[in-house]
Amino acid sequence: MFTYFKQTDDRWKDQLLGEGPETIGTAGCYLTAFACFANPHHMEVDPGVLNELFKQHQVYVDCGEAAADVECLPDSALQAIFGELKLGPVISCFNTPAPLDQLSADENHVVFVELARADRRTHFCPVAENREDPLIFDVFDGAIKPISQDWGDAKEAIVKIIRYEERGVAALERLAAAVEALQPKPAVTAAQKPKPAVTAAKKAPSRRQPSAIDRQTRRAQLERRVDQVAETGRRRRPTQETPTAPSKRPSTAGRK
C-alpha cells in the first residue's frame, strides 16, 4: 500500500536533496519512493517533509566516487526515522538475472527496485504489480508502466530489490492474539478443578463440559472487553461460584 508522489511535483522539485547540489526533481527518486510508502502510515509525510526529516536525522550519506558531491540514501533510511517500517531482505542482482518472484507485496509490505541502464543511469521505484513484465510506479513522471517500456527486460534492468514491512499494526495484532489465547487457559483448569468432595447430588444433571462452553464464552467476553480494560480491571475470569452460563450450572458434585 502506498501513496502516489512525483519527484517533479512543483511543491518540492526545486528543494535541495539533502544538502545538495542535486534537487529532489533531478535526483530524488529514492526519497520519493520512500515517501510513497511512509505516507499511508504517517499522513504528514511527503517528499519535501521526508527530505527535511532525513537531513535532521543525518540519514544522507556520501554516494562515493560513482556520484561525487551527491548525497544518497541508504536502504535502511526509512527504518532510521520510523521504527515500525522495517527493512526486509535486500537482494543485489547486478551480475545475475533478477528473481522476479521476489517482487510480490501486500498491504503491509512494499517492494522497491533499483533499475539501471548500460549508461549507468539508475532509478528507484515502488513495484505496483508483479507479473511477467512487472509494473512500477514511476516516481519521475507519476505513471504506472511496465519496466520494459523504459528500461528493457526486467530481469536485466533490475539491479537491486528492497523489501519493507509495516510492523506496527501486525505486531499489535499478534500480541493481542497471543494474550487472548493465553487468558482463557486458567479458566479451563478452574472449571475442571472442583473434583474434590463428591457428595450425593440431588438430581445432578449430566455434565455437558462447561469448560469448553466457558472457554468460548470467555473468548467472546475478552473480545468485547479488550477496549475497556481500564474500566473493568477488577473483573476476573469466571469461577465455579460465578458461572458464565448460569442457566446450565451443574452442582459441585458433577460427574467424571
DSSP string, 186-228: HHHHHHH---S--PPPSSPPPP--HHHHHHHHHHHHHHHHGGG
Residue for cell digits 534537487? Answer: 23
Q: β-strands 85-92, 109-116: how paired?
A: unpaired
pTM: 0.65
Question: What are the tens digits of pLDDT across the range 104-163?
Answer: 988 778 999 999 988 778 999 999 999 999 999 999 999 999 999 999 999 999 999 999
pLDDT range class, residue 224, cuts 50, 70, 90: low
Stronger pLDDT, 153 or 167, i.e. the higher one: 153
The proportion of the chain whose per-residue pLDDT surpasses 70, expressed as a percent, equals 62
Rounded to a whole number, what is the distance in angstroms from the first to the last CA of the chain?
54
CA distance 240 to 210: 10
Residue 173's pLDDT is 52
Q: How many CB atoms lie within 10 A of CB 34?
A: 32
The pLDDT tens digits for 63-113 are: 765 555 567 999 999 999 888 889 999 999 999 999 999 999 887 789 999
Give yes or no for residue 201 having a pLDDT over 50.
no
Residue 220's pLDDT is what?
52
Provide the pLDDT for residue 227: 47
Task: Please give the grid coordinates belonging to residue 151.
Answer: 528500461
The pLDDT score that the predictor gives to residue 196 is: 55
